Each structure stands twice: as structure tokens, then as C-alpha cells.
């Protein structure tokens, strides 16, 4: 949805076939994670490159990296982005951060961009793999939301994207082959009570 084609991510060495099980939507439990987060306000076509640039600069200079390739980058976005001007979009770009890093290196962020160490809350999440261009995510998002509703859940807040395979420092690559995990935090919807008789849930237990 929001990573611009002219804003390449860090070079990736990811086997996209490792995520093929996510072609079908699922609901799982996910632990909270400590994150290096760069917050950027504005059209991601204009500010996404600066946000990702600062994210990877801080990640490597903080000592978080154990090798050249960092974890897969993620971003969180408000709900209903299409109903607001792109200049008002708030993107939260992030990488998981080990406990050994307790402060950020000195840096001068670009205008409209800030960096912090924070915790991303998870718990129950619904997720699905989107294959293809970022601007073609809408059908996959709607499929995931329909699954969430069918399973008796509702989404909590905006959605998250995990950029398994996308543009790299070497160039944009083939957008039709991009792999992006779309994710929402979810919670169960209180089931309506009938004649005072409780019925056991028919939903499958959450996978961990």
C-alpha cells in the first residue's frame, strides 16, 4: 500500500517460498516485540525513502545487526488511508530490536521524521500474504477482513505490512513478484446470547 517504488528497502536475502503457507488467511497469537521505529508524516512517495534510510542507518549504527542483512522491515498505517490526503498519512516504519540496544545513536532526522525505541503490541493477529504490487493490495485486504469477520473477530486499529520481498538497494525489481504480509491485530466479538444457553465456540484454537 505505502512503500513507494522509488524508496528501495535494504537488500534482502529472503526465500519467498518460506511464506507460501500465508497465501490462505489465518489467525495466530504473536508476542509483543521491541522495535526501532521511524515515524514519518506525509506522502510515502515523498518521504518513504528518507524514513527507510534513517531506519536502516540507525539499525546498523546501533550495533543491532549481527550480519549484513537485517530482519524484514515492517510498517504500520492508520485505518482508512484512502479517505485522507496522502500528505496526512502517518507511517511507522520499523525493525525488531534486540534487548542489547537500549538507546539510539546520535542522529539528525529529516524534517517530518522521528525515531524511537518502542514496543509493538500484538496478541491475536490475522495475517495473509499479498503477492504483487503495493497499489493492488485492496482485494487481499478485503479478503483478510472478510475472514476475520467470518471467524468471529474484529480488527483493532490500522494494518501492518511486513515487506518480505520488495524493492532493494539494487533497484525496484519486479513489482508483480513482491511479497508482503498484511496483518491486523484482532479481538473476538462478543457472541450474542440466545435463550440463556451457552454454546461452545466452534472456532479453531489459535496457533502459536
Beta strands of 3-147 (E only): which ranges?
A: 26-30, 33-41, 74-77, 90-96, 113-120, 123-131
Contact between 138 and 182 under an 8 Å Cβ cutoff? The reply is no
Residue 208 inside a domain? The answer is no
Alpha carbons 185 and 159: distance in angstroms, whole number:
8
Q: Got the DSSP string for 90-106?
A: EEEEEEE--TT--SPPP
- Of 51 and 199, which is predicted with more confidence? 51
Residue 195 inside a domain? The answer is no
- 81-96: per-residue pLDDT in tens? 778 898 899 999 999 9
Alpha carbons 3 and 111: distance in angstroms, whole number:
18
- 19-43: per-residue pLDDT in tens? 888 999 999 999 999 999 999 999 9
What pLDDT is recorded for position 78?
86
Residue 11 inside a domain? The answer is no
Q: What is the pTM of this model?
A: 0.83
Same structural domain, 73 and 95: yes
Average pLDDT for residues 123-135, to the nearest whole number?
95
CATH number of the structural domain spanning residue 133: 3.20.80.10
State how many domains the chain has: 2
Q: Does the pLDDT at position 155 exceed 80?
A: yes
Beta strands of 59-138 (E only): which ranges?
A: 74-77, 90-96, 113-120, 123-131
Same structural domain, 41 and 78: yes
Residue 90 structural domain: 33-120
Q: Which residues of 127-153 are buried (b: 16+ CB within 10 A; e: fewer)?
A: bbbbbbbbeebeebeeebbebbeebeb
Residue 202 inside a domain? The answer is no
Residue 203 inside a domain? The answer is no
- 134-147: per-residue pLDDT in tens? 999 999 999 999 99
Nearest to 163 by CA among 46, 55, 30: 55
Express as a percent the part of the chain with pLDDT over 70: 82
Amino acid at each position: 500500500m505505502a512503500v513507494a517504488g522509488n524508496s528501495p528497502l535494504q537488500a534482502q536475502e529472503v526465500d519467498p517460498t518460506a511464506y507460501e503457507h500465508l497465501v490462505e488467511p489465518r489467525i495466530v497469537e504473536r508476542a509483543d516485540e521491541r522495535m526501532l521505529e521511524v515515524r514519518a508524516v506525509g506522502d510515502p512517495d515523498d518521504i518513504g525513502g528518507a524514513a527507510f534510510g534513517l531506519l536502516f542507518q540507525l539499525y546498523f549504527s546501533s550495533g543491532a545487526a549481527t550480519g549484513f542483512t537485517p530482519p524484514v522491515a515492517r510498517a504500520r498505517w492508520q485505518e482508512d488511508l484512502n479517505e485522507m490526503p496522502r500528505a496526512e498519512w502517518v507511517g511507522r516504519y520499523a525493525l525488531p530490536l534486540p534487548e542489547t540496544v537500549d538507546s539510539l545513536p546520535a542522529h539528525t532526522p529529516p524534517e517530518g521524521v522521528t525515531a524511537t525505541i518502542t514496543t509493538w503490541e500484538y496478541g491475536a493477529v490475522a495475517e495473509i500474504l499479498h503477492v504483487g504490487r503495493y497499489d493492488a493490495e485492496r482485494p487481499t485486504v478485503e479478503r483478510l477482513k472478510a475472514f476475520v469477520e467470518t471467524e468471529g473477530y474484529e480488527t483493532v486499529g490500522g494494518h501492518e505490512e511486513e515487506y518480505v520481498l520488495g524493492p532493494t538497494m539494487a533497484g525496484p525489481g519486479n513489482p508483480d513478484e513482491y511479497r508482503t504480509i498484511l496483518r491486523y491485530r484482532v479481538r473476538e466479538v462478543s457472541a450474542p446470547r440466545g435463550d440463556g444457553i451457552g454454546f461452545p465456540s466452534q472456532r479453531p484454537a489459535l496457533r502459536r
